[in-house]
């Protein structure tokens, strides 16, 4: 439907007509044309002038456009390895693909738009489906479908899965805005199975310290029996013991070792299989431990007692790399005297209480410092003590803020995408409502997020000048550690942020002119290994152009690389490395002297999909019920397909306005009228 909207008073329309009549009458009242021709020419000129005057009032044309949008069906397929393990041969796989293709064809015949997804994202064709994923994150797949079809008429989603989830969130705890059906595949049979349910230890251990490895052994359907538990490192058996594995139980076992040598070590724990056990992959698990020899002395000096102090101390002490002392002014008896590598100044200087002489001397020393502010911080005094930024608070106002990582942060590496998702789920910190001015030679790790709105106000800032400093402009880290444990059953992200900040601040003490490190000690198979390179001249200024050689030694392979360090390339990726233990030696020549850096890492074989092969149909049934869908098995698929109804398109009406003068056909009306008048006058000899 199209409407003409003039938006003019009656007198304005009358004026257009009068002007047209007056102009035509003045032009043709004394013309020599025959009466009939004069009337025709009069009418043409009247229309031309009237339309021209009318267009001066800028009338608009409303266009109403209606169209139909077909509903969308999404077939979401769990293409993890555990799904394919239930098939006896390739014929069963082909039959499964044929059934999915029949479903797709049936939905299209009913008028639906069909989209197919697997764990990687949109799938162009079912023929290209490969069941090779080493982990199952159903929540992420369903969220990706929701995101990519936002605004579409998404009617239904069919999740094809065995219900096994070994990564990401549990989809049962998420509500989806679409009807979710589940098609259960896989084998629900419970076979006798002994497995290493969990195996954990510290990731980093100080050389000379003792550390524990904790394991849980699960017995499902194997009966009460005595089995052998063996701990090894490489080909060397470190300890083995007989244990009682009771039917249906999970028993905990602890091993204690001493970190005698520096390096990266992979420890493997195995439980002996039992008769009739089909899945022996989950009978062994490995952990990686990095043994270092760089224990640092750290002092946490605080103006007030606060839960953040325990959070900081716990995060640092759990690594075993730091000797942490705590001093709370007014609570502790005396300031510990020691040669410290770092001072963490918590809410210093105090808003009301002057600093003691001992603290004044410590804060004025050339130690690397990490300033952490809060509600008791004297911000104006802090401005005079640090050279990272200027803080101009607005009275005594404080905001509850979250954080988000700066895109251009390069001081140290971390899994930005993974940590950004986790960061959004953590509770807010308390930061001053203030204006901030960053000073030169600073880099922002994290900006403030107020609610869901990102701001340009810094939250976590690092300095690059020596001695290095950092500042966290908020209190409440203890909330982050507690919530991280509640959400993820671990505090690694928060603890690693604290640890990496401390490592950055204390790194200059080593004064090594060439250093090649990995961003972590262990990787999963298929994951990129990132090498981070630092190189300095005699004044310990960073070098921006340096060629170096790297020899990578695996258990069965050896590779040699020639790499070039530049201002834009300070990280290098090693890809497609098979599982195993690796060591590397990097060599560079700086000012005629050869510099050497050594390190190592472990690539672990990803076997999450093999730890538990029993399909979880109950999870799929609950997921369908919670989201208004239907739970079905392959046997019921054909009958369910036959019951599907034809698609009902959604009708959309869109309205838009445009000025009449912009209509192209209007020009041709004017052109036709003017041309007709000219031709008639020309033909009768009066132009």
Q: Are 458 and 447 in contact (CB under 8 A)?
A: yes
Give 254's Cβ-side CA count (13 Å radius).
4
Contact by Cβ (8 Å): 2, 657: no
Determine the average pLDDT of the residues in 33-59. Answer: 78
CATH architecture of the domain formed by 193-292: Sandwich (2.60)
Q: Are 371 and 472 in contact (CB under 8 A)?
A: yes
What confidence score (pLDDT) does residue 2 get?
A: 47
Rounded CA gap, 178 and 604, in Å? Answer: 38
Secondary structure of residue 295 in the 3-state scheme: coil
Please say whether the dihedral angle defined by the alpha carbons of residues 117, 118, 124 and 127, taken in this order, is positive or negative: negative
356 has pLDDT over 60: yes
pLDDT of residue 6: 46
Tell me the mean pLDDT in the region 267-296: 84
CA nearest to 8, candidates 62, 50, 58: 58
684: confidence class by pLDDT, cuts 50, 70, 90: confident
β-strand partners of 115: 74
3-state SS class at 434? strand
pLDDT, one tens digit per residue, over 139-195 is 989 999 988 888 888 888 999 998 888 888 889 888 888 899 999 898 777 778 888
pLDDT at residue number 1: 43
Give the C-alpha separation, 423 to 403, whole Å: 7
Do residues 115 and 653 lie in contact, with contact meaning Cβ atoms separated by under 8 Å?
A: no
| Number of Cβ within a 10 Å radius of residue 333 | 6
Neighbours of 581 (CB within 10 A): 20
Provide CB contacts within 8 A for 417, sequence distance 6+: none
Top CATH class of 71-189+614-648 equals alpha beta
- Rounded CA-CA distance 93/130 in Å is 10
Q: Do 604 and 579 touch, CB atoms closer than 8 A?
A: yes
Is residue 88 a contact partner of residue 136, using CB atoms and an 8 Å limit?
A: no
Q: What residue segments make up the domains of the chain, in order of their start?
A: 2-66+654-683, 71-189+614-648, 193-292, 296-508, 512-604
- Mean pLDDT (whole number) for 497-517: 81
Cα angle: 450, vertex 451, 453; to 5 degrees: 65
Mean pLDDT of 242-251: 86
The answer to whether 476 and 459 have CB atoms below 8 angstroms apart is no
Evaluate whether 71-189+614-648 and 296-508 have a shared fold. Answer: yes
Q: State the SS3 of 138-193.
A: HHHHHHHHHHHCCCCCEEEEEEEECCCCCCCCCHHHCCCCCEEEEEECCCCCCCCE
pLDDT band at 508 (very low <50, low <70, confident <90, very high): low
CATH number of the structural domain 512-604: 2.60.40.1930
Does 678 have pLDDT greater than 90?
A: no
Section 602-623 average pLDDT: 83
Q: CATH: 3.40.190.10, 3.40.50.1580, 3.40.605.10, 3.40.50.880. Which one for 296-508?
A: 3.40.50.880
> Which among 119-128, 165-174, 496-505 has the top mean pLDDT?
496-505
List the structure tokens of 125.
Answer: 């064709």
Whether the pLDDT of residue 478 is over 70: the answer is yes
């Amino acid at each position: 439907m199209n409407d003409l909207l003039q938006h003019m008073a009656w007198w304005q329309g009358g004026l257009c007509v009068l002007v047209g009549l007056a102009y035509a009458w003045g032009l043709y009242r004394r013309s020599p044309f025959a009466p009939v021709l004069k009337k025709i020419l009069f009418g043409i000129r009247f229309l031309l002038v009237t339309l021209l005057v009318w267009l001066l009032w800028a009338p608009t044309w409303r266009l109403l456009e209606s169209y139909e949008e077909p509903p969308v069906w999404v077939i979401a397929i769990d293409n993890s390895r555990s799904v394919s393990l239930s098939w006896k041969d390739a014929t069963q796989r082909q039959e499964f693909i044929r059934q999915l293709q029949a479903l797709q064809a049936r939905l299209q015949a009913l008028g639906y738009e069909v989209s197919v997804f697997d764990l990687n994202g949109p799938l162009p064709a079912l023929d290209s489906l490969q069941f090779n994923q080493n982990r199952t994150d159903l929540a992420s797949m369903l969220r990706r479908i929701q995101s990519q079809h936002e605004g579409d008429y998404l009617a239904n989603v069919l999740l094809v899965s065995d219900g096994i989830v070994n990564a990401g969130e549990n989809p049962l705890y998420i509500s989806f805005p679409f009807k979710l059906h589940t098609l259960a595949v896989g084998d629900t049979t419970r076979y006798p199975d002994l497995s290493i349910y969990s195996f954990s230890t510290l990731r980093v251990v100080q050389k000379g310290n003792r550390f524990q490895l904790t394991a849980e052994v699960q017995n499902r359907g194997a009966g009460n029996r005595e089995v052998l538990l063996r701990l090894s490192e490489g080909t060397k058996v470190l300890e083995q013991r007989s244990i009682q594995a009771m039917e249906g139980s999970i028993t905990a076992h602890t091993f204690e070792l001493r970190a005698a040598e520096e390096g990266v070590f992979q420890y493997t724990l195995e439980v002996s299989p039992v008769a009739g056990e089909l899945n022996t992959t989950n009978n062994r698990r490995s952990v990686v431990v990095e043994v270092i020899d760089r224990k640092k002395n750290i002092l946490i000096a605080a103006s007030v007692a606060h839960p953040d102090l325990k959070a900081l101390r716990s995060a640092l002490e759990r690594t075993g790399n730091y000797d942490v002392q705590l001093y709370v002014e007014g609570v502790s008896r005396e300031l510990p005297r020691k040669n410290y590598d770092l001072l963490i100044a918590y809410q210093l200087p105090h808003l009301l209480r002057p600093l003691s002489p001992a603290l004044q001397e410590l804060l004025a020393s050339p130690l690397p410092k990490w300033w952490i502010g809060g509600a008791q911080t004297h911000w104006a005094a802090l401005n005079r003590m640090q050279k990272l930024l200027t803080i101009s608070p607005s009275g005594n106002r404080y905001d509850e803020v979250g954080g988000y990582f700066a895109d251009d942060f390069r001081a140290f590496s971390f899994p930005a995408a993974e940590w950004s998702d986790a960061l959004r789920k953590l509770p807010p910190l308390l930061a001053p409502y203030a204006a901030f001015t960053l000073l030169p030679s600073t880099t922002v790790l994290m900006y403030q997020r107020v609610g869901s709105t990102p701001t340009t106000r810094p939250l976590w800032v690092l300095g690059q000048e020596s001695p290095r400093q950092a500042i966290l402009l908020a209190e409440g880290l203890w909330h982050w550690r507690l919530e991280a444990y509640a959400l993820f059953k671990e505090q690694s992200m928060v603890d690693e942020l604290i640890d990496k900040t401390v490592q950055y601040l204390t790194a200059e003490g080593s004064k090594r002119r060439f250093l090649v490190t990995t961003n972590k000690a262990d990787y999963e198979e298929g994951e990129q290994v990132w090498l981070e390179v630092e190189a300095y001249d005699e004044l310990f200024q960073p070098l921006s152009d340096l060629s170096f050689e790297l020899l990578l030694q695996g258990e069965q392979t050896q590779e040699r690389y020639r790499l070039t360090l530049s201002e834009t390339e300070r990280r290098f990726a090693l890809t497609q490395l098979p599982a195993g233990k690796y060591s590397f030696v990097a060599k560079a020549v700086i000012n005629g002297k050869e510099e050497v850096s050594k390190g190592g890492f472990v690539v672990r074989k990803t076997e999450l999909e093999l730890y538990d092969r029993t399909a979880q149909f109950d999870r799929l049934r609950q997921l369908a019920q919670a989201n208004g869908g239907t739970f079905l098995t392959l046997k019921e698929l054909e009958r369910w397909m036959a019951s599907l109804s034809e698609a009902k398109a959604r009708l959309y009406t869109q309205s838009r306005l445009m000025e009449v003068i912009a209509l192209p056909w209007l020009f041709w009306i004017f052109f036709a009228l003017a041309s007709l008048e000219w031709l008639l006058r020309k033909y009768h000899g009066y132009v």
